[in-house]
Structure 1
Amino acid sequence: MGTFEEKLSILSEMIAFARVDHTLKDSEYEFLLGVATNLGVDKKTFESLLKQKSPKVTLKSQGERIVQFHRLLLLMNIDQEQHKKEINTLYNIGLAMGLPPSAIGQVLEVMHKYPNKVVPARVLINIFKAHYN
């Protein structure tokens, strides 16, 4: 998966999204740290991203953008709360990534059908596939 700069950009975007409500809850911090570890970013580097954003790098493939959208969706639901501002921000991030508005809307709608609002990856992928055909 991508360059180190892309990984830092992914994490920076996620940190900024987590702070949309002006707080970073413990559950969000732990989730973000887990993503950092999964991406191969050490804790010290991750901690530095909490203080200073990394430059934005646009993810090249549609698949990478869908995966990032899914990460953000999981992050939004990690604290069991969804605020209108978070939902609107996630929708706008998806649009900025070039994802189809109708697919984004469908994902945000179907998330309520799953435990803890965790949309299974295969369901998410199928939604996006349907909107690309």
Structure 2
Amino acid sequence: MHSKDEKLSLLSEMIQFAKADKNFKEQEYNFIVVVASQLGIEKEEVDFLMKGEVEKKSLQPESQRILQFHRLVLLMNIDQEASPLEIQAIKDMGLKMGLRLEAVDTVLEKMHEYPNKVIPPKELIAIFTTFYN
């Protein structure tokens, strides 16, 4: 499991992404609070993160980076509106995580094939596996 600093970094990254389109919505905030709860982080700490960033921690192993990318895709689609700014931001974040652009693009393309644009975890893994073999 992640250290507390890594968890706060993950949440900070999600908050930055949610703010990328300059339209931070309550649905996005609530999703981040739920993820924080799953990570054992209190809502008050999320509120603190809303005011500023924490030091970015790189995720290891790659499976953790893919999981975080999946969280970002879910966050992007929570309001069923993915602006061009959000699409570019999520691509940039995927690249900064060290994920292959082809895999990121495939995820962003295939998400439209599923209800609420939620790609099942098995499909997500299959996409990344295809581009890493």
Q: Which category describes the TM-score, using the shorter chain as reference length?
A: over 0.9
Between the aligned partners of 1:81 and 1:23, the Cα distance in structure 2 is: 11
Which residue is equivalent to 2:86?
Answer: 86
Between the aligned partners of 1:84 and 1:115, the Cα distance in structure 2 is: 21
Give 1:23 shift. Answer: 2.2
The answer on 1:75 being equivalent to 2:75 is: yes
Structure-to-structure mapping, 1:46-65, within 5 angstroms:
46-65=46-65
- What is the DSSP-based 3-state SS (H/G/I as helix, E as strand, rest coil) of the residue aligned with 1:45? helix
Between the aligned partners of 1:45 and 1:30, the Cα distance in structure 2 is: 13
Structure 2 unaligned spans of 5+ = none
Aligned residues: CA RMSD? 0.7
Give 1:53 shift. Answer: 1.0
Between the aligned partners of 1:35 and 1:21, the Cα distance in structure 2 is: 20
Between the aligned partners of 1:18 and 1:56, the Cα distance in structure 2 is: 16
AA at the equivalent of 1:83: S
Give 1:43 shift. Answer: 1.2
Instruction: Indicate the percent of aligned positions where both proteins have the same amino acid.
Output: 50
AA at the equivalent of 2:86: E
Moved runs in structure 1, 4+ residues, more than 6 A? none
- What is the DSSP-based 3-state SS (H/G/I as helix, E as strand, rest coil) of the residue aligned with 1:60? coil
AA at the equivalent of 1:47: D
TM-score (norm 2): 0.98
Number of residue pairs the alignment of both structures matches = 133
